[in-house]
Structure 1
Amino acid sequence: MRHRLLAALVAVPLLLAGAPAQASAADPGGYAALGDSYAAGVAAGGYDTASGDCHRSTRSYPALWAAAHHPAGFVNATCNGATVDDVRRDQLPRVPADAAVVTLTVGGNDLGFADGVVACLQPITTDSRCDRALDETERRLREELPARLTTLYGEVRSAAPAARVVVTGYPHLLHTGTVCTIGTDPRRVRFNALTDRLDELIEQQAGKQGFEFADVRPAFAGHGVCSGGSQEWITRFVLTHLWESFHPTARGQSDGYLPAVAAALA
């Protein structure tokens, strides 16, 4: 969720506890991390200034896994706002052919989830606007993303033929069943339902290549926006850094994403 979220929020009024992964007995071979802002660690802080607008964080799950397991090499190609095509064009060429581990988080930007956030979760909006945005998300999920993921996953396997590949899903961003200023409860329910459909598609397509799927939804349960205070592992609207809005916090990375990925690689 990057450029369109930023542009849309500027144009309208205000409108992720588990134990850390344990190091393996032997250092694994090289590790390459691919994906979008959820893999880069946007909103977790501790950004590597050399990564520029990609906003790669030292608190992201790839950085945390690498620090715990000491791979022979670590290539972090993740980038804020990345789509499937961005991963194919800009990130895959950086994967060593002899990589032993590859992780990947991508797909949300292809569906226009940022547009859904703007249309459904800001205070000044309408149900019809929200429905139009999520209808378009559903269309892309049904008609466009399956083929894109099939192509990408095949290219990942070709780029790193011997690697263990873990593909992650996305958490429910929103807690439901509560009174909250972030969207109505029916909108939050529909938003989460679309996340479920996206995760199901990612798992199915990854399985066809023999990749492992890391489901982060159980760890994030009860920690979405509107769960309340310190329980929230997803940021709300971050007015000073709009690109951080609706992303996992440092705890969401360490206690949500990292355990799921570590378990998939165990």
Structure 2
Amino acid sequence: MRHRLLAALVAAPLLLIATPAAAAPQDTYAALGDSYAAGVAAGAYDPASGDCRRSARAYPALWAAGQHPAAFVHAACNGATTEDVRRDQLPLVPADATLVTLTIGGNDLGFADGVVACLQPFSTDGRCDRALDETERRLREDLPGRLGTLYGELRAAAPAARVVVTGYPHLLHTGTICTIGTDARRVRFNAVTDRLDELIQQQAGKQGFEFADVRPAFAGHGVCSGGSQEWITRFVLTHLQESFHPTARGQADGYLPAVTAALG
């Protein structure tokens, strides 16, 4: 992954919380995606994953630990874009995979640039608007085709797999006084996330993939919700790549229930 001022917001998916059916012994599970699927900011990183920063507390690793599939490939990587998944991660998906989870799209939109422009101290409304205008342009013009191509290639790579594609949570709590951006900027940032999730759901549906909407689980737990209620990190000055990512609790209590629901 590329080191940037902030590791791209990106963010997906899997583990069972209540009593869902256990994985069959022959199940083969592949987890793909960006930093949200890798588990950046959740800690307990696998040293062998290097800059990809794959965490044992990310939902894919938690699911695998609890369900014991016959094979588990965790290929998600910090900073990954749709093209990175196509080039570097899809070749690692076993042809006989029975389950694939994927979280991708945020980095293609330059969400990290939006975080810097809208949420860092001393930024301005004008700078934030320009950054989000560019994010919305990419969302309209670039990402639909990129997701469509990736999802089609994923279906071809794992024709028998059940595929669960996750969205992203609202990173920011609104309606409160907070030092992280203005309320108006937080509202617009979340609105862009909504449009991203809608696009992901739409494109995934064309391939017959399941969509896991994580926004309900994260409601009331974004930055500016206060203290232990926050399942998203704020600026992490010592490890900037961990800023504005789900915490370990966000992985376990936010992403996992959404994926469980998508699996039925």
Matches within 5 A, 1:111-190: 111-190=109-188
Q: Unpaired runs of 5+ in structure 2?
A: 8-14
Does the alignment pair 1:20 with 2:24? Answer: no
User: Are residues 65 and 189 of structure 1, via their aligned partners in 2, closer, same or farther at CA, if it must alter by over 3 Å?
Assistant: same
For residues 16 and 89 of structure 2, the distance between their equivalents in structure 1, rounded to whole angstroms, comes to 30
Deviation at 1:5, TM superposition (A): 2.8
Deviation at 1:205, TM superposition (A): 0.1
Q: Which digits, 9 at most, give the CA deviation of each residue in 1:1-31, with x for residues without a partner?
A: 9633349xxxxxxxxxx98253524525100
Other-structure match for 2:37: 39
For residues 34 and 21 of structure 1, the distance between their equivalents in structure 2, rounded to whole angstroms, comes to 24
Other-structure match for 2:248: 250
Contact preservation (8 Å) 1:2, 1:243? no
For residues 129 and 192 of structure 2, the distance between their equivalents in structure 1, rounded to whole angstroms, comes to 12
Which region of structure 1 is more displaced relative to structure 2, 157-166 or 28-37? 28-37
Other-structure match for 2:78: 80
Other-structure match for 2:259: 261
TM-score (normalised: structure 2) = 0.94
Give the match's secondary structure for 2:101: strand
Other-structure match for 1:225: 223
Residue number among 101, 104, 108 corresponding to 1:103 in the alignment? 101
For residues 45 and 75 of structure 1, the distance between their equivalents in structure 2, rounded to whole angstroms, comes to 19
For residues 87 and 36 of structure 2, the distance between their equivalents in structure 1, rounded to whole angstroms, comes to 19
Deviation at 1:129, TM superposition (A): 0.4
Other-structure match for 1:4: 4
For residues 6 and 40 of structure 1, the distance between their equivalents in structure 2, rounded to whole angstroms, comes to 15
In structure 1, what residue type is equivalent to 2:144?
P
In structure 2, what residue type is equivalent to 1:155?
E
In structure 2, what residue type is equivalent to 1:132?
R
Contact preservation (8 Å) 1:35, 1:77? yes
Which region of structure 1 is more displaced relative to structure 2, 122-131 or 26-35? 26-35
Q: How many residues align?
A: 257
Contact preservation (8 Å) 2:34, 2:104? yes
For residues 183 and 88 of structure 1, the distance between their equivalents in structure 2, rounded to whole angstroms, comes to 34
For residues 200 and 72 of structure 2, the distance between their equivalents in structure 1, rounded to whole angstroms, comes to 24
In structure 2, what residue type is equivalent to 1:4?
R
For residues 234 and 2 of structure 2, the distance between their equivalents in structure 1, rounded to whole angstroms, comes to 15
For residues 102 and 18 of structure 2, the distance between their equivalents in structure 1, rounded to whole angstroms, comes to 18
Give the match's secondary structure for 2:5: helix
For residues 29 and 20 of structure 1, the distance between their equivalents in structure 2, rounded to whole angstroms, comes to 19
Give the match's secondary structure for 1:34: strand
In structure 1, what residue type is equivalent to 2:223?
V
Contact preservation (8 Å) 2:39, 2:246? yes
TM-score (normalised: structure 1) = 0.93
For residues 91 and 265 of structure 1, the distance between their equivalents in structure 2, rounded to whole angstroms, comes to 22
Q: Unpaired runs of 5+ in structure 1?
A: 8-17
Deviation at 1:67, TM superposition (A): 1.4
